[in-house]
Amino acid sequence: MGEQHLVLMGEFFDHVSETYDEVHSSHIDRAGEYYAALSEPIEATHLPIDVLDIGCGSGLELESLFLKAPNAQVLCIDLSRRLMDKLLCRYADKKITPHIESYLSYSYPRGQFSYIIASATLHHLLDDEKRELYPKLRQALT
């Protein structure tokens, strides 16, 4: 995916940010169950676990995470500043580190994250991009 394509994608999601939550949820059958299922593998804890959320959008997927791990520290990566602003407002009382950039080019720290969330984002990638991304994500896990 070229740099110009990433810029356009970020601009698109900035443009639709006001209606993103309701439109996005309406396109996912049983959205509540879907988001709850994303956090199913996460063990309930009050410890400050490190979680990576790539393509986080407005953070719809984080609600169920914070129910299970209220002290989670989440690194959120997304192309859209406006969606990230919504996420930060929604979870103002949570430990979130925002990055407005492509998760394809992000320099992931080795062995930092207990969990990685990638909700409704990987379908935007070409197969070659996925093959390049997956090893980076794997090495970022503890």
What's the rounded mean pLDDT across residues 11-17?
A: 77
Q: Distance (Å, rounded) from C-alpha 49 to C-alpha 86?
A: 23
CATH class of 3-140: alpha beta
H or E, element range at 81: helix 81-90
Query: What is the model's pTM?
Result: 0.90
What's the rounded mean pLDDT across residues 108-131?
A: 94
Segments making up each domain of the chain, as ranges: 3-140
DSSP 9-37: HHHHHHHTTTTHHHHHHHTSTTHHHHHHH
pLDDT tens string 34-70: 889 999 999 999 999 999 999 999 999 999 999 999 9
Give residue 30's identity as a one-letter amino acid code: R
Kindly report the average pLDDT of the chain as a whole number: 91
Measure CA of the first residue to CA of the last residue in the chain; give whole Å: 28
